[in-house]
């Protein structure tokens, strides 16, 4: 059925919003700025931590986002944010239900597994290591691995090329319209979970090939295909 399954990270495999919110507010307090709600932060997750911090800083200061970009403020803030996020990682994040069992089942079925996230490499690696799942992945493509990130199809095509898998034999599993658009542009199937971070919108509106209750549906489909191979 599938020779390669690519997963998004935040909102798909790991619930990270609470500790991301903690780290963002640690930084805002450090800058003597008002905190922002976790509800807002959930809506900003998906484009990488730098973009998330841009939204948060602009919201807290009342500045236009373009103004924040032009001033270079983020270049100063991001190293400090990295310190706060490193201290917070693993404190209030958790694997979603069935994630560990699904990764084990896919590995047991000899399906290749990749992670494609817009989170920067240093943060993605920490999350994977803290939750003990890094070893399941044949490769990790982070938001700063290549010259483009999701929704550009480059990260998915990079995985296909590196792992020598045809697009029709690959599946992308995510939680947002960004993930759906990425998979569509790369020509791979896309399934989506309904519990992640999709800017407050139902994921069904993004029209993935399937909306699945948990990632366990992926392992179930692979196992069913192994039991009943196509003639």
Return the active site residues.
8
Residue 16 per-residue DSSP state: -
Q: What are the start-end ranges of the E strands in 42-201?
A: 94-95, 112-116, 139-141, 170-174, 189-192
What's the count of helices (H) and strands (E) in the chain, helices before strands? Answer: 10, 8
Question: What gap in Å lies between CA 149 and CA 119, rounded to an integer?
Answer: 10
Whole-angstrom distance, CA of residue 49 vs CA of residue 80: 12
Q: What is the 3-state secondary structure (H, E, C) of 183-230?
A: HHHHCCEEEECCCCCCCCCCHHHHCCCEECCCCHHHHHHHHHHHHCCC
φ and ψ at residue 104, rounded to 5 degrees = -65, -45
- What tokens were used for 175? 């939680």
Task: Give residue 41's Cα distance to chain centre.
Answer: 14
All residues at 6 or more sequence positions from 112 whose CB lies less than 8 Å from its CB, including other chains: 3, 4, 5, 138, 163, 165
Q: How many residues does the chain have?
A: 231
| Degrees to nearest 5, angle at CA 52 with 50 and 57 | 95
């Amino acid at each position: 059925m599938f020779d390669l399954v690519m997963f998004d990270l935040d909102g798909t495999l790991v619930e990270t919003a609470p500790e991301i919110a903690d780290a963002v507010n640690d930084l805002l307090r450090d800058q003597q700025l008002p905190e922002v709600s976790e509800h807002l932060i959930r809506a900003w997750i998906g484009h990488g931590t730098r973009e998330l911090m841009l939204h948060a800083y602009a919201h807290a200061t009342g500045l236009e986002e373009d103004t924040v970009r032009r001033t270079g403020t983020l270049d100063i803030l991001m190293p400090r944010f990295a310190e706060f996020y490193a201290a917070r990682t693993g404190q209030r994040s958790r694997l979603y239900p069935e994630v560990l069992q699904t990764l084990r089942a896919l590995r047991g079925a000899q399906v290749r597994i990749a992670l494609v996230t817009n989170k920067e490499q240093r943060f993605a690696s920490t999350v994977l290591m803290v939750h003990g799942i890094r070893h399941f992945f044949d490769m990790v493509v982070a938001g700063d691995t290549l010259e483009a990130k999701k929704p550009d199809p480059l990260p998915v095509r990079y995985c296909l090329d590196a792992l020598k898998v045809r697009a029709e034999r690959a599946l992308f599993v995510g939680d947002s319209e960004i993930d759906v658009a990425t998979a569509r542009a790369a020509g791979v199937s896309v399934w989506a979970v309904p519990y992640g971070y999709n800017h407050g919108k139902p994921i069904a509106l993004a029209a993935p090939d399937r909306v699945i209750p948990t990632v366990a549906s992926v392992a179930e489909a692979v196992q069913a295909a192994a039991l009943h191979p196509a003639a």
